[in-house]
Amino acid sequence: MENGEQLGPRIFVIFGGAGDLAWRKLVPALFDLACDRSMPAHFSILAVDRAPSTDEKLRRRLQDGVRKFSRHGATNSAEWNEFSRHIRYLQGDFKQARTYAALSERCKALDEQLGGDAQRIYYMATPPSMFGEIPKYLGRAGLGRGQPNGGIVVEKPIGYDLGSARSLNATLGNSFDESQIFRIDHYLGKETVQNILAFRFANPLFEPVWNRRYVDYVTITAAETVGVEHRGGYYEHAGALRDMVQNHLMQLLCLVTMEPMVSFDADEIRNKKVDVLHAIRPIDPGAVHDSVIRGQYGEGWVGSKKVPAYRDEPGVAPDSQTETFVALRLFVDNWRWQGVPFYLRTGKRLGRQASEIMIQFRGVPHQAFPAESTIDWQASRLTIAIQPDEGIAQRFQAKHPGPTMHLRSVEMQFNYQDAFAVRSPDAYETLLWDVMKNDATLFMRADQVEAAWRVLLPVLYVWSAAPPRDFPNYAAGSWWPEDAQSLLAQGHSWPLPIELARQGAPQKRHSKAAAAARAP
Ligand code: BG6
């Protein structure tokens, strides 16, 4: 991160400052920024929450989060003491005008202490039900518009469907200018996600083959081993489609398919992404069952741990029909991608954690090698591994050493950790830093959010009218419901996660069986 000390003073107001997000993500990220001297020279963090507490109590709890989750890890007391003196607590109900009157007073006092003209960043780290309330109250209290370098940060989910997203966007727009609204999709803050643009547009090698002529199909996977943990209450009303596809997977799809940007201007990049969303072929409501598969996990084993079925998780109804897995097939109807299927899938309690994009290239137009030399032949494929193994792997054909011409697939790999001997910042560090700099490139614009909902509307509509009959339909720890295979055209397959070798770590010799398992 760059040096932040030249930035003017900032006040971070965190609604839900005593909650999980502030503890786990926001304050550890701000602490890491401070350790790297990327915070403004003068700043304050004002946590607003309902529960009675004190500055000291809150600081103790937040220190625990910093120890557990920050990049700098266990804090030495000097660093923590220096940082924590910026943290203050304000008790208040988010739905009462007097909270905002008190907030206004506190901000004025902090502003004076910070030297005046402090820009305010209001972060809604609250349940989504508050997203439409807080901006209203801020606007009424005169705390909205009017700061060139401040604004409001809202986490996904932005709405529950197209209608609610529009109404939330309108509410936000009543109190803040669009340029002051930072809609977070934390996937966009991940280094490897940002690297997709670098990989595609900073290397002239790939762009010429990045189209329907050379690409057979693309898979985008976000597989998690975790279940819903303590978030059953939220997840019951969201499900995998709303929780992951509408935002994270759509963002990845946009980055993989968008046209080259002309400049690195925030709106230029966001325009190119919106173009993709507008080009997605509408899903025919009559054919939702053919192009979208849903699943829910039953009990099973994740590694050596026995885990309960989704329906037995806390906060989940015993007959819940919420999907914990989705796979879908989309087409992008433009010149570049016409006819290329994009297979997206995401799920909880799957066999391994892996977020990856796989570009499967077409085979050669004419196979000139003798048939016996190409028994192990596989078309080239490129895998962009987003997490947990961060890197890129390119599979291609090579001649197997020996007197005969025998071709085999080999893999060339780039591993982030080997290439750059620094630990990547957490996505929240990048995003908070960008909010402070007022750089909206990595945030979702209102029209983009709405366009993504529009793509999924037919699915939401059909699913609400036709509840699933076969839930649970995959065991925790397995890979996906069998039905997910039915989305794939003949010859296409869902890839297994790649394993990126680390330098120094012994290279795994892939057995024939393992190689076969990974074959398309
Ligand atoms: C969140 C979802 O947006 O992303 C969670 O609400 C999901 O359900 C999480 O687990 C995945 O993000 P990451 O960064 O942990 O892979």
What residue's CA is closest to ligand 1, atom 9?
244
For residue 161, the model assigns a pLDDT of 96
What residue's CA is closest to ligand 1, atom 6?
243
Distance 402 CA to ligand 1 centre (A): 48
Distance 407 CA to ligand 1 centre (A): 40
Residues near 14 by beta carbon (within 8 Å), at least 6 away in sequence: 22, 26, 45, 46, 47, 48, 123, 125
Structure letter (DSSP) for residue 284: P
For residue 373, the model assigns a pLDDT of 86
Q: What are residue 448's phi and psi, to 5 degrees?
A: -70, -45
Instruction: Report how far residue 77's alpha carbon sits from residue 388's, in angstroms, rounded to the nearest whole number.
Output: 31
Distance 422 CA to ligand 1 centre (A): 24
The angle subtended at Cα 412 by Cα 410 and Cα 417, nearest 5°, is 140
**Nearest atom (ligand 1) to Cα of 190:** 14
DSSP-derived pairing of the beta strands 43-49 and 305-307: unpaired
What residue's CA is closest to ligand 1, atom 5?
243
Distance 362 CA to ligand 1 centre (A): 32
Distance 389 CA to ligand 1 centre (A): 16
**Nearest atom (ligand 1) to Cα of 228:** 8
Ligand 1, CB cutoff 6 Å, lining residues: 224, 243
Structure letter (DSSP) for residue 258: P
Q: Is 248 a catalytic residue?
A: yes
Q: What is the pLDDT along the chain (520 residues), one digit of tens a residue?
A: 667 778 899 999 999 999 999 999 999 999 999 999 999 999 999 999 999 999 999 999 999 999 999 988 866 788 899 999 999 999 999 999 999 999 999 999 999 999 988 999 999 999 999 999 999 999 999 998 877 667 999 999 899 999 999 999 999 999 999 999 999 999 999 999 999 999 999 999 999 999 999 999 999 999 999 999 888 999 999 999 999 999 999 999 999 999 999 999 999 999 999 999 999 999 999 999 999 999 999 999 998 899 999 999 999 999 999 999 999 999 999 999 999 999 999 999 999 999 999 999 999 999 889 888 888 788 999 999 999 988 999 999 999 999 988 999 999 999 988 888 888 889 999 999 999 999 999 999 999 999 999 999 999 999 999 999 999 999 999 988 888 889 999 999 999 888 776 665 544 433 333 333 333 3
Residues in the chain: 520
Q: By CB neighbour count within 10 A (0-12 exposed, 13-18 middle, 19+ buried), where does 97 fall?
A: exposed
Which region, left, alpha or beta, applies to residue 508 given φ > 0 means left and ψ of -120 to 50 means alpha?
A: beta
Token reading at 122? 């209001």
For residue 230, the model assigns a pLDDT of 86
Amino acid at position 86, single letter: H
What residue's CA is closest to ligand 1, atom 12?
187
Closest Cα partner for 249 from 238, 261, 240, 262?
240
Residues near 357 by beta carbon (within 8 Å), at least 6 away in sequence: 196, 218, 219, 220, 221, 252, 256, 383, 384, 386
What residue's CA is closest to ligand 1, atom 15?
224
**Nearest atom (ligand 1) to Cα of 243:** 6
* pTM higher than 0.85: yes
What residue's CA is closest to ligand 1, atom 4?
244
Token reading at 9? 């003073």
Under 8 Å between Cβ of 129 and 234: no
Residues near 334 by beta carbon (within 8 Å), at least 6 away in sequence: 275, 279
Token reading at 393? 């792997």
Residues near 238 by beta carbon (within 8 Å), at least 6 away in sequence: 157, 322
Count Cα neighbours of 140 within 13 Å in the Cβ-side half-sphere.
13
**Nearest atom (ligand 1) to Cα of 231:** 8
**Nearest atom (ligand 1) to Cα of 248:** 3
Distance 248 CA to ligand 1 centre (A): 9
Which residue in 42, 186, 248, 406 is the catalytic one?
A: 248
Instruction: Report how far residue 315's alpha carbon sits from residue 313's, in angstroms, rounded to the nearest whole number.
Output: 6
Instruction: Report how far residue 516's alpha carbon sits from residue 513's, in angstroms, rounded to the nearest whole number.
Output: 5
For residue 397, the model assigns a pLDDT of 92
